[in-house]
Structures are given as structure tokens and as C-alpha cells.
Structure 1
Amino acid sequence: MDQPLLQVSDLRCAFPSSKRRDLFAPRQWIHAVNGVSFDIRPGEAFGLVGESGCGKSTTAKLILNMARASAGSVLYRGHELIGRSDAEWVPLRQRLQYVFQDPLGALDPRMTVLDQVIEPLVIHRLHGRERRRELAQELLRSVGLLTGQMTKYPHELSGGQRQRVVLARALVLEPELLICDEPISALDVSIQAQIVNLLQQLRRERGLTLLFISHDLSVVRHLCDRVAVMYLGRIVEVGRANELFRAPRHPYTRALVSAIPTLQPGTPQQRVRLKGEPPSPANLPTGCPFHPRCSMATDRCRQQQPELEGDSRNRAVACFHVEPPIMEVA
């Protein structure tokens, strides 16, 4: 078994809220990420899913030092990333790249497509001028852009084309790990499929390791090898994608999976509906964070927090009432 390329252990991020109940009230702390642990193996596509606001994007930013961790560890090939200086991060940026949710916001409106893909090579002082241009053109062609589109500016391209440019710019440094943060959420459904197929192709051709963050479970099911489900800053279930979607074990995962539209008309669908809204990360409930919305909650759930415990099938669930799967999803 390969050693993990990336190991995240007990990662936490809390920051003070800007809001107070009154002038003299103590400042509240928002626990955006609250003890997240997972690992990603070389060549693997690992999905991180959950509702908006559960801490998925913050986790990605903590890994890449785009936000400061309050505690925890992130190991890349056995080397600690937390606490490194900006200067120490410069060579690491070549190996770890980030694809943003909004491609238009991620691109410089004053630079042509080609110049923006060349720019990372200039920053890292790689190759000569002509070779940089050749590499950028080759990569843009490999993600499906035509020669005439390379001299255009971001506003002259469609959303799907802009996302291809962002992918090309991230890949031009030949990274080992690509972190994609909701990369298709702003695109039309037909364009989403093109980008997902492109990611699969690039992964096969370049041996990429992928951390794919999304709230779209149908896409994650199609793209990823393993999946972790986040709720209120914590991972509540992790396992192989085919097993997790076929037979989810945590009550929150069951609710998410039951909401995936079926592709077969007339197929009965057992929808699991949750009560209420997720609690505020500034006012976390005692015990299990999911217990206010869980139909299986007991006094133990309200008082104790379950740990993420695994089994021999490479599944891990944070729940006191885990039973053999009671729900099968085709």
C-alpha cells in the first residue's frame, strides 16, 4: 500500500466573530474546522462533500496556508506544512496547486490567456522565454482551447473556457496534488460534464492526485475513489465512493445520498428528510454536532461527541448508533 501523499490530522481553525450580542459581551469564536483528519494516497481522487458552510473550503485553504490553522498537522510526503514561512512555501507551490470556484475572479482581466498561463513559470524562474511560451501553448491545447483563443482576455471567454484556463495555469508547474474547490458549481450542467471528463483525462495522463471539494454528490460519485462527508466542521463518515454511496451508514450521509436525483424514471426513492437547520459554528451544540437534527439521537449523543472510528473495510463513521447498512441506493 502506498504511503499517503497528504496526511491531515486533527486540523482546526477558529476565529473571533465580528458580531456581539452587546458591547460588553465576550467575543464569540467561530469553529470553522473542528478536528478534521484524512489522508490522500498518490494518484487518488479524494472527495470532500457537505452542505455550504460546513468547512470544506476552509479546510483546503488551511492545507495550502491560505488561512492559518489554530491547531493540527498537515504532512506532505511526511513533511509538516503547518507553521512554514511564506519563503518556505515558494517551492511547495509548484507541487501543490489550487483551482478556485470562480474562474473569472481568479484570472487577471488585464492579461491575455496565454500570458496568464506563462506567468507561474516566470514567478518560479523555470525555463527560458521561448520554452515557457511553448509549454503554455501545449497545455492550453491539451485542455481544449484553440490557438485563436489564447490571445483573448478572460471576459471574452465562456465560463467553461475560463475554467480550462485556470486548470492550465495550475497544471503548468506540473503539480503532484491539485485541490479543486467547487470548480464546476458556477457552470452550466453540460459544461460541468466537460470539465469533469477533462479532470479525469488529466488525472490519467499526468498521474495527478486530486482533492475535489463539492456539494454535488452525483459528480463526486462519478469522479472520486474515496469520499469524506463533513458536517459542521467535522468529518462524520469516510469510505470508498462506491460503498459509501451504495450503503451510507451515518444518518447525515443517508440524508445527503437520498437527495441525489435518480436516473431511472419511476424508481421509488426513499428520501431522508432532516429537521431544522445546521447549528451556528459560533454556538456548537454539546455532544454530537448532528444530534439536534438526528432522528436516532439519544441522551448519550447529546452529552458525548463520537469519534471517527474505522473498520476492516476501510470505512469510518462518527456515530454511536452505527449499524449494518439499512439503506441501499442504486
Structure 2
Amino acid sequence: MTGRTPRLSRLRRVVPEGRGGRPADARAARPEQTRGGKPRRRGTQPKVVALGGGMGLSASLAALRRITGDLTAVVTVADDGGSSGRLRDELGVLPPGDLRKALAALCGDDDWGQTWARVIQHRFQSQGDLHEHAVGNLLIVALWEQLGDHVQALDLVGKLLGAHGRVLPMSAVPLELQALVRGHDPERPDEVDTVRGQATVALTPGEVQSVHLVPSDPPAVPEAVDAVLDADWVVLGPGSWFSSVIPHLLVPDLLDALVETKARRVLSLNLAPQPGETEGFSPQRHLEVLGRHAPKLALDVVLADEAAVPDRDSLTDAAKRFGAAVELAPVARTDGTPRHDPELLAAAYDRIFRMHGRIGPWR
């Protein structure tokens, strides 16, 4: 089910390195407004790849589909809870839940799209084995078994839904997320324990020090690698930082593609720390953690909600270590919940894309 061989070797290049092994100026290492050495035609839609999982990725996809018709989602496959976990344990398949959510987020606003979005998100309520299984999870797994190909099956579901984009798993094998957590046991606040499983890590007490995947060298889906290498823009986040965002940086071929792509890279920060996983984290702390897991990754823009950044200078300094500028914009819903508004987030992405289109790299 893995498809073609990744073509990372075609983009190997030498760039000057700065602190921590990062490119000293990643923006200077990328040609201005080019794809394959050719100037981009004015008015063409950007190729955008969004990476993440769960509700955070759904938020970015719901926004991005409003501003481009060339959109690919690359989704984590470490979920081990709920319907996904049960299917994974029973059938040995990739957890389909985050893939389903991404497909639902890409459904159109017309009757067809919204009807199918509700259908695949529908969960059965019963006293039997179907209880809490999502229709979309069962559909995706059935097609995997019928076709024997993860990507072909997801493309077929997307075609059925009329999805405004493509959904790909980041790896062709189900992964286990493990975290080193200090103070996981309140009676041993200074000791570090290993916490296993994405669902457990997401809610763990204590302070997460780092995360890793089992297996430690999982194969990336070649189509996901190609999408990153071919992109004009790569969007990472928002989402659960340790369980949905950082796992993409732990798949070696995918990380290599993220480091070597000529695409501009946008990091979307969360609206608030997540209870358990990132409780008490400042916006700049999120960046520091990201850098520890991927020291060679460069960024171009860090997007944050202006109301969620109490110390702008510290965030600006943290972003500069990645070669990035900070873009502050109102992107939260106005109902007080820590959720992104798709229209406001779309406007923020559109502004970033257009600003770079007009003036090239940040200076």
C-alpha cells in the first residue's frame, strides 16, 4: 500500500547553517516565486499542503479550501482511541478517524457536501458492537480492504464526497505515540515516565518533555512526500501539539521533505494551551518544543491570534530562530470558545499568501 518511491534525492542541496543546524536564511535559499525554476503565472492558485490531525487540521482545511482549489491534507495515523482504536486493534488497519475528519472538513458548502459531511461523521448509538462507530470510519476501512491501497481508497471517498482537496495518511503503517513525561505521577513530581498511546498522551498530567514514534523509522506515504516537495505553501498546525503536529516531524522522509521543499512554510499556533498536553505553555514555548524535535526545520511565517499572544517580543524572538516573521490576526470564533473561525482563518492565510506573492520573502 505504499506506492511510489520518494524522490527526495532530487532536491538535495547545500544551504548555510545557523544556530542549531537550521538554515541561516532559509528564505534566501529558496528562489523567489518559482516552481521548478519557472515563474509562477499571476492568478494561479497556490498548491497548499496542510499537515496535522483532529480538529486542528479540520480548522485549517475548512479555511484553506476557501482560498485555493489545490489542497492536500497529510494526516497523522497514531490515534488509538474510540472507534479508530477499536478498528485498529481488531483489523490491524490505519486509524481512520483523523482521515475521516479531514475529508469532512473538505466537503463543500452545498447540499451534497454538507449532507455527506454529516453522514460520514455520524456515529451509531446502540447496545451492540456498532456503538460509537463512525460511518466514515467503516466506509474508509471497507475500501482499504476492497482495494488494498490506502491512497486509492481515500481518493475514492473524496470523489464520492465531492471533497475540495485530497487527503493522505502520513505513513502507511499504524503508529504508536510515546511521550516522556515529567511528574506524570504526582507522588513523584521530578521523575520522568514513559506514557504510551496518543489518546493517553493528549490528556496526560505532568509536563511532556518529548515524544517519539514506534516504530521509530516509519515509512512515509510517497504521495505525501511528493505533495510537500511540489507545494507552494506548507501549513503546519494548529492542533494538539505533541499528538497531532509534532508527529509529522518524526517520520524521517516526511521531515526531510519539509526541510528541503522550496515551499513557504506557515506554522499556525493554537488559540490556547491544551489541558494536560501543553498546559501552561506560552506561544513561544510551543515554538521551542517544535525546534527541539526538528532543529533543522525553517519557517517563513508564524501565525497567531493577536489576543492569544501576551508577550509579542518573546514570540518574535522565538520565530526569528526559525527564520520566520510573526503574523498576528484575529482568527478565533467570537463565541468565546478556543476554536478557529474558518472565515477569519481563511482571510489570514489569504493575506499571508498574497503578501508573499507581492513582496517575496519577509525582510
TM-score, normalising length: structure 1: 0.29
Query: Greater strand percent: which structure?
Result: 1
TM-score, normalising length: structure 2: 0.27
